[in-house]
Amino acid sequence: MNLDNVMSVHDFKRKVKNYFMIGLICLSALVAIFPLISVFVFVLQKGLPSLSWDFFTQLPAPVGETGGGMAQSILGSFYLIAVASLIGVPWGIASAIYITEYGYGKTVFLLRFSNDLLMGVPSIVMGLFVYSFVVAPMKGFSWLAGSLALGLIMIPIVSRSTEEILKTVPSHIREAGLALGIPRYKVILHIILKGSWGAILTGIILSVARISGETAPLLFTAFNNQYWSHSLTQPVSSLPVQIYTYAISPFEEWQAQAWSGALVLILFIFVINIAVRLLFHKK
C-alpha cells in the first residue's frame, strides 16, 4: 500500500515531466516551421493581387504605364537553369562516380574536402569568379556566364547527393556485375546508376530548386534584360534579379510586381520539392 503510493507519486512526476518535454518538442517544431508559413502567407498576400495572366506573358511595361509582366524573366530563368544543369549535372555526377567507384585513400579525402569547401563558397564569390574569367574577357554580361556561375554552384551539391546515393549501393552488387564479365564502366553506367537513378534525379532536382532562387551570382554575370533574349552571349533576365531590380525601385507598381515574382518563384520551388517527394519517396 505504502509502496503503491510512493510509486504513484513517482509516476505522476514522471508523467508531468514527459508531457512537459513533449510540449517543448512540439513548440520547437512549430518554431521551426513558423518562418516558412509566415513567409509564404506574407508573400501570398502581397503578391497575389498583381498576379495575372499578363504577368506570365507580357514584357515589363515602361515606367508610368500599368500592366506588363515578367515573361522574359521567367523564360530567362529556365534558360539559365537549363544550361547550368548541362554544366553542373554531368560534372557533379562524374565527380561522385570518381569518389565512390574509382578513387581511394587521400585522393578521395581531398576531393570530398574540396567539394565541401566549394559548397561553402558564398554564391556571390562564384559570380565574381565568373565575372573576372568570363564576363570581363568576353566584354559583356551573358546567359552563358550566368549559367556557368549557377552550374559551379550545382557541382558540389549534385556531387554530394549522388555520392551519398552511390554509397548505399552495396559493394556485392558491383562485384556481381564484374563477376559477369562486364567491364567496370559498364557496371557503373548500366547497373549502379540505373538502379539508383530515381534517387540521383531527386538530388538533381533539389539542386535545381536551390539555384533557381540565386540572385547574387547573376547580378554581374547574366545581369538583366527588359526584353526577350535568346542568345547565349547576350544578357538575360531571370526572376530573382528582376525581383531585386523591381523591389528596390521607387515605383509602387514595380514593387507590387516584385512581390508577384517572389510568389511565382516560391511556388516553383515548392512545387519542385513536393513533386520530387511524391514521385520518388513513396516506396
- By the 8 A CB rule, do 233 and 144 touch? yes
Q: Closest separation between CB of residue 96 and other proteins, Å?
A: 17
Q: Closest separation between CB of residue 240 and other proteins, Å?
A: 36
Q: Among residues 58, 196, 215, 234, which is the contact residue for other proteins, using CB under 8 A?
A: 196
Note whether 104 binds other proteins by CB under 8 A: yes
Note whether 179 binds other proteins by CB under 8 A: yes
Note whether 177 binds other proteins by CB under 8 A: yes
Note whether 181 binds other proteins by CB under 8 A: yes
From CA 85, how far away is CA 154, in angstroms rounded?
8
Note whether 183 binds other proteins by CB under 8 A: yes
Q: Among residues 170, 250, 252, 282, which is the contact residue for other proteins, using CB under 8 A?
A: 170
DSSP H helices, the chain, are 2-47, 53-57, 71-97, 106-120, 123-130, 136-138, 143-167, 171-179, 184-186, 193-195, 197-212, 216-219, 239-247, 252-280
Binding-residue total with other proteins (CB under 8 A) = 22
Note whether 200 binds other proteins by CB under 8 A: no
Note whether 191 binds other proteins by CB under 8 A: yes
Name the one range near other proteins by CB under 8 A: 51-59, 116-124, 173-181, 265-273. Answer: 173-181
Q: Closest separation between CB of residue 207 and other proteins, Å?
A: 22
How would you class 19 by CB atoms within 10 Å of its CB: exposed for 0-12, middle for 13-18, buried for 19 or more? Answer: exposed
Q: Among residues 13, 15, 167, 190, which is the contact residue for other proteins, using CB under 8 A?
A: 190
Between 82 and 180, name the residue whose CB sits nearer to other proteins: 180
Name the one range near other proteins by CB under 8 A: 60-68, 74-82, 169-177, 262-270. Answer: 169-177
From CA 153, how far away is CA 149, in angstroms rounded?
7
Residue 64's φ and ψ, nearest 5 degrees, are: 95, -25
Note whether 169 binds other proteins by CB under 8 A: yes
CB-based contacts of 138: which residues, under 8 Å, 6+ apart?
A: 145, 233
Between 59 and 182, name the residue whose CB sits nearer to other proteins: 182
- By the 8 A CB rule, do 238 and 226 touch? no
How would you class 264 by CB atoms within 10 Å of its CB: exposed for 0-12, middle for 13-18, buried for 19 or more? Answer: buried
The three three-digit cell numbers of residue 272, written as one number: 519542385
DSSP for 120-185 reads HS-HHHHHHHHIIIIIHHHTS--HHHHHHHHHHHHHHHHHHHHHHHHHTS-HHHHHHHHHTT--HH
Q: Among residues 62, 105, 137, 250, which is the contact residue for other proteins, using CB under 8 A?
A: 105
Interface characters, 124-163, with other proteins (x: CB under 8 A): ----------------------------------------
Q: Can you give the binding site for other proteins, defined by CB under 8 A?
A: 104-105, 169-170, 172-173, 175-183, 186, 190-191, 194-197
